Amino acid sequence: MSFSSITKNELARIQGNGDCCKRAELAALVKMDGTLHKNGSQMSLDIKNFNAAVARKAFSLVKDLFNIGAQVMVRRKVRLRKNNIYLVRVPAAEKKTEIMSALGIMDDAGLLQERVPGSLLKRDCCRRAYLRGLFLGGGSVSSPERAYHLEIITSNLRHAKDILRILKRFKLSGGINARKNWYVVYLKESEQIAECLNIMGAHDALLEFEGKRVYKDVRNKVNRLVNCETANLDKTVAAAVRQVEDIKLISRVKGLDKLPVSLRQTAEARLQFPDANLRELGEVMVPPVGKSGVNHRLRKLSEIAGRLRGGDEVGF
């Protein structure tokens, strides 16, 4: 099961604190997944979703708010992944005006309205419920093991901007992208996605998200440290190989006994300990020499070898 499905199943089990929250959540579900269906003189409100838990939530909200027995149907897609489609059909003929007005589908003049009515979002708990309904109706969140991405898809640009304003009320900075005929409201920062899950009430999903996020961050940090150590080790080995080659060249052409005592001591230590780093090399000398001192002597040896390769006369 995907992380989005796990999150939706948890959110679908949340019961609103009061009718205002239930109304806001159902209004968001209808805004995302609802259509008006007319069959002759009969009119109904259809709510379609691919998640059975979300369909049960819509059925429960309709019954609690309007005391209407909705009809639930299951259809199977015949193309692509052949998912089940769950349809909650609300017979709106009896209480059409009440339902449409309560859910913000119709204004006082009886006209359909695109914007989210402010009356549904007066309280903070209602805004949380509306955000939860939006996610249940058209949201998804990636598993933090792969990427940090939460999105809500709507077909209406004005509604997308309204969603963005609701997110900003909770200090969440999202964005809007156009995707074919849809508008995608998204969050990409891990901290903001975690806060959004908390606001909607998906606390179990939040714990899983945070656990995977911490594991991923620790793993990435360890990888960076290992890569850094490996790179440093590679540099140390490459430098040591060059130093050994330089010292062997000096030994063949001039002889190490011709070198000053400090350089001869360093050259012999390097030949004896080709894998040692500068600190370790300095510790085996008598008396011990610091890293900077060892590095200075090795540079001197490299310069001498360079002059010998160029055919220059080198004196000590």
**Ordered domains of the chain (ranges, CATH):** 3-201 (3.10.28.10), 218-309 (no CATH)
- Evaluate if residue 16 carries a pLDDT over 90: no
- Evaluate if residue 151 carries a pLDDT over 90: yes
- Evaluate if residue 1 carries a pLDDT over 90: no
**Banded pLDDT at 109 (limits 50, 70, 90):** low
Higher pLDDT: 274 or 111? It is 274
pLDDT at 110: 55
Mean pLDDT of 188-208: 94
Q: How far is the C-alpha of 236 from the C-alpha of 231, rounded, in Å?
A: 9
**Banded pLDDT at 99 (limits 50, 70, 90):** confident
Instruction: Give strand pairing partners of 185.
Output: 152, 176
Which of 78-87, 103-112, 133-142 shows the lowest mean pLDDT across its residues? Answer: 103-112
Question: How many helices and strands in the chain, by DSSP H and E?
Answer: 11, 8
Q: How far is the C-alpha of 112 from the C-alpha of 138, rounded, in Å?
A: 21
Helix axes 124-138 and 190-200, enclosed angle (nearest 10): 110
What percent of the chain is modeled with pLDDT above 70? 91
Q: How far is the C-alpha of 238 from the C-alpha of 167, rounded, in Å?
A: 54
pLDDT at 76: 76
Task: Using alpha carbons, list the distances in angstroms from residue 27 to 132, 285, 313.
Answer: 11, 80, 91
**Banded pLDDT at 227 (limits 50, 70, 90):** confident
Q: How far is the C-alpha of 217 from the C-alpha of 211, rounded, in Å?
A: 10
- What average pLDDT is seen over the chain? 86
pLDDT at 192: 94
pLDDT at 160: 92
Q: How far is the C-alpha of 285 from the C-alpha of 293, rounded, in Å?
A: 11
Mean pLDDT of 38-57: 84
Most confident by average pLDDT, 95-99, 227-231, 309-313: 227-231
161-178 pLDDT tens trace: 999 999 999 999 999 999
